[in-house]
Amino acid sequence: MPHDHHHHIDPEAGDTRVVFAIALNMVLTLAQIVGGIVAGSLSLIADALHNFSDAIALIIAFGARKIARRPADAEMTFGYGRIEAVAALVNYTTLIVIGLYLVYEAVMRFIDPAPVAGWIIVIVAGVALVIDLATAALTYAMSKSSVNIRAAFLHNVADALGSIAVILAGTLVILFGWTWVDPAATLLIAGYILWQSLREMPGVMRILMLASPRDLDTAAVIETVRATPGVASAHHVHLWMMGEHETALDAHVVLEPGAPPDTTRVAVKARLAEAHHLHHSTLEMESADRACSDARVIGH
Predicted pLDDT at 123: 80
Predicted pLDDT at 163: 76
pLDDT at 238 over 90: yes
Predicted pLDDT at 97: 87
Q: pLDDT tens for residues 2-12?
A: 333 333 334 45
Query: Which of the pair, 79 or 227, is modelled with greater confidence?
Result: 227
- Reported as a pLDDT band with limits 50, 70 and 90, residue 299 is confident
Any idea what the Cα angle at residue 49 is, between residues 12 and 30, rounded to 5°? Answer: 80
Indicate the pTM of the whole model: 0.69
Predicted pLDDT at 286: 92
Predicted pLDDT at 52: 77
Percent of the chain, pLDDT > 90? 20
Which residues, listed in sequence order, are joined to residue 298 by a DSSP beta bridge? 237
What mean pLDDT do residues 271-284 have?
A: 92
pLDDT at 161 over 80: no
**Domains delineated in the chain:** 15-208 (1.20.1510.10), 218-290 (3.30.70.1350)
Least confident range from 68-72, 73-77, 149-153, 167-171: namely 149-153
Q: pLDDT tens for residues 85-127?
A: 888 888 888 888 888 988 887 888 788 776 666 677 778 778 8
Predicted pLDDT at 9: 37
What mean pLDDT do residues 183-198 have?
A: 83
Predicted pLDDT at 116: 64
